[in-house]
A and B are shown apart, each in its own frame.
With several copies, the nearest count.
Chain A
Amino acid sequence: MRQLRFLQAMNEAYHQAMGADESVMIIGEDIRGGIRGETKGLHGAFGDLRVLDTPISEAAFTGFATGAALAGLRPIVQFQVPSLIYVAFDQLVNQAAKMRLMLGGQANLPITYTLMVSGSRGGNAGQHSDNPYPYLLHAGFKVVCPSNAYDAKGLMIQAIREDDPVVFIASAMSLPQKGPVPEEIYAVPFGCGDVKREGSDVTVIAIGHLVPEALAVAERLAQEKNISVEVWDPRSLLPLDREGLLKSVKKTGRVVIYDDTNRTCGFAAELSAIIGELAFSSLKAPIKRVTRADVPMPFNLALEAAVLPKPQQLEDAILAVRSYAHV
């Protein structure tokens, strides 16, 4: 099959979704120019009224999308950098996320928010390295976090079709990754996790760009230490495929969560709490979280590496839960 980069897969999803449905529009900063490429060609194909380059006014253009959705459009909102959601946080959390329930279900809000270059990308320091999905999960947004180009296209198509607000995490580390992507339009459904590698000793739950890293560690451990690691990718974090998750956990009884966001009240905590409550009797070892440390990203690359979750930590955690014996 044809290989595309994650970024190209996003671009194709945009083109196909906008081509298929006149009500889809996109709004954000510098998207005509298409600095990174994910919006390339959209302005030429769909014009000024469906491809809106905005002033630096995130709060307003986020609210704008809410109003456009209430009036019948399906907006895509691009955040140039993930931490810009904070400037628009009221319009996200107090307005868009709450609107449907507050309205008693009178209207749908089919809005897709794209968080470009989520996570760290080497020396971007404190304000440009966040991976802020736990905030959005806590607020009740549907959130998808694709780990490869195929899932990126399919989850983007589904996000745009979904009749609720959805946040699409476009991880900095994933954007250049290549993978097979069908040419036709297709959707990856929400709430369907994916066993990216089967295994029987330990379940590793890896999120987004950490999935390939986890696969590499699993491969190495299989070869070097004969340990069978299952790598489970939730794909959509909310809704979460609990059934798939618990199936894997019940099989292995040993769990490591590999997640590149701040630790406290992060997504790894949520997964740990769910598993701890619902699969307690299957657990043969404590659930280990391997996450980002609880600080803004320091600029220095060695400090950055020290703050980020690392393959070595994952390996250590796998070995620890694998050798853990109930006392």
Chain B
Amino acid sequence: MSNIMPAPFARSLYYNMARIRQFENRVVTLVDDNEIAGVCHEYSGQEAVAVGICGALTTSDIVTSTHRGHGHTLAKGGDVGRMFAELLARTGGYNKGRGGSMHIADVGIGIFGANGIVGAGAPIACGAAHKFKAARENRVAVSFFGDGAINQGVLHEAMNLAAIWDLPVIFVCENNQYAISTPLKEVTILDPYVRAQSYGMPGVCVDGMDVEAVYHAALTATERARTGKGPTFIECQTYRYFGHYTGERHMKMNYRSQEELDRWKLRDPIKIWAARMMESGLCAQEDIEAIDAEVNIEIDRGVEFARSSPPPNPAEALDCMYAVPYPNTPAWGVEP
């Protein structure tokens, strides 16, 4: 298939995956150095999913994301500097330091937000899709969620709404095999995509380590959505390289084996794609190295930007709660 993909586009897929990988590596360092508070859920290993899906989207399409949201945001066009600034809780951050890792969003470019509640983004995507449909806009909404979300009721309710109303939504299940320590196979019998089929929508399963496969599935789904034919469910088989979140490295968890991890790493989405591009003559080793170096600089600059951005003013801690605040509303914890 690769030979039908223009070289600049193929390289952009690589670039976006490399960006996510390097971003996450830097996040880990910043967490270890106590520059980032709270917890981050690293996306490394799953890059082909975010990048393959978002490769089929335009800026005016929207996504709802998950607790593991850095990858989606970057793939959708998020700015590295503003993301780091958010993680460092600065005013230059996407959410002015109010959101952090679990809520990073750029509504302007269609990133409706990471979400700390499993499954909660799915109906939100449907509502946006309804707006697109009602306004006859040629836009699509994508909802990303994990394999664990497949057992949240609201996801089912949302799939049904999308199906009965032919909404331009794509449900993307990132099946990384685990929800924290719980293997998918212990908590579900049939595959996630089978459930989607029971709502009367196409449900497909693709290799989530293969950016090209993901991209083609996304393309089919977006075409369906943009032509008013309704939703699609795409299950992507993938794997996370790190623990559930940054804290896991300091814990003894044994829900998965080193062998399993190593086996998945053999199919690393970034390496696979680099190799396939080179095989197909879409680029050379030097091009890859040049992209890596470019990304490296971007990451450095992003961290620099973030560090130079001022922190928010505690006197403004209640800002942003309402578009229209009133006297004493929201209330401080003591009478002023």
**Interface residues of A, Cβ cutoff 8 Å to B:** 25, 29-30, 32-33, 35, 49-50, 52-57, 59-73, 75, 83-84, 87, 90-91, 94-95, 99-108, 110, 122-128, 140, 142, 162-164, 190-191, 238-240, 242-243, 263-264, 277-278, 288-296, 298-303, 305-309, 313, 316-317
Contacts and interface: CB of A to CB of B under 8 A. Distances in A.
Nearest to B111: A106
B328 A103 contact: no
28 contacts: A30-B180, A30-B182, A32-B181, A53-B182, A53-B186, A55-B148, A55-B161, A60-B161, A65-B127, A67-B125, A72-B131, A100-B323, A101-B320, A102-B103, A106-B105, A122-B38, A124-B38, A125-B38, A125-B101, A128-B116, A140-B330, A163-B323, A288-B335, A295-B321, A299-B98, A303-B317, A309-B334, A316-B334
Contact of B99 (A32, A68, A90, A126): A126
Contacts of A191: 326-327, 329
B27 interface: no
Contact of A71 (B108, B131, B153, B311): B131
A60 B158 contact: yes
Interface string B197-231: 00000000000000000000000000000000000
Contact of A91 (B39, B96, B123): B123
Nearest to A36: B251
A55 B128 CA distance: 18
B323 A108 contact: yes
Interface string B279-314: 000000000000000000000000000000001101
A107 B107 contact: yes
B13 interface: no
B149 A56 contact: yes
Given A55-B151, A57-B160, 11 more contacts: A29-B182, A30-B180, A33-B182, A54-B187, A55-B161, A60-B123, A91-B123, A107-B107, A125-B102, A313-B333, A313-B334
Contacts of B96: 104-105
Contacts of A35: 180-181, 251, 253
B163 to A, nearest CB: 10
Q: Which 4 A-B residue pairings sit nearest by Cβ, starting from the closest?
A: A67-B127, A123-B37, A63-B123, A123-B38
B95 A299 contact: yes
B152 interface: yes
Nearest to A70: B112
Nearest to A47: B134
Contact of B154 (A29, A60, A102): A60
Given A239-B329, A277-B335, A295-B330, A30 B181 contact: yes
A288 B333 CA distance: 10
B123 A64 contact: yes
A132 to B, nearest CB: 14
Given A94-B117, A104-B99, A61 B161 contact: yes
A59 B151 CA distance: 10
Contacts of A54: 161, 187
A108 B107 CA distance: 11
Nearest to B152: A56
B97 A104 contact: yes
Contacts of B327: 191, 239, 242-243
A293 B330 contact: yes
Contacts of B318: 293-295, 307
A157 to B, nearest CB: 15
B89 interface: yes
